[in-house]
């Protein structure tokens, strides 16, 4: 899913388990919130589950390997994340 605003753009790739844990919807259901063909993403509102992330803090554990540790490679694997300070890292996402 591509997300953009006036300042930058980003790409979210999310698996069912992580999407369900963060937003109580499956990844394929999240895709239905995307702009349709011919609609400019910057002229649309962020999907509710993306807007709900605004102002929250997530801490991610990033897995770096020889595959993604290259100067021009900007894709990282999130192996674990947590939403609170006192909570241990959970395998498979928040």
Residue 34 phi, psi dihedral angles, 5° rounding: -75, 155
Bigger pLDDT: 37 vs 91: 37
Q: Is 41 exposed, middle or buried (0-12, 13-18, 19+ CB in 10 A)?
A: middle
Predicted local confidence at residue 25, as pLDDT: 79
Is residue 22 within 8 Å of 56, Cβ to Cβ? no
Predicted local confidence at residue 31, as pLDDT: 66
Q: How is the chain split into domains, by residue range?
A: 1-56, 57-94
Least confident stretch, 7-11, 20-24, 59-63, 75-79? 75-79
Predicted local confidence at residue 93, as pLDDT: 47
Q: What angle do CA 29, 57, 8 make, to 5 degrees?
A: 70
Residues paired with 79 in a beta bridge = none
């Amino acid at each position: 899913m591509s997300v953009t605003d006036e300042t930058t753009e980003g790409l979210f790739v999310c698996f069912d388990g992580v999407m369900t844990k963060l937003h109580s919807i499956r990844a394929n259901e999240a895709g239905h919130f995307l702009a349709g063909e011919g609609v400019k993403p910057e002229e649309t509102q962020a999907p509710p589950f993306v807007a709900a992330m605004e102002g929250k803090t997530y801490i991610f554990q990033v897995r770096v390997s020889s595959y993604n540790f290259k100067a021009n490679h900007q894709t990282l694997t999130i192996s674990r994340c947590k939403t609170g300070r006192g909570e241990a890292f959970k395998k498979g996402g928040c």
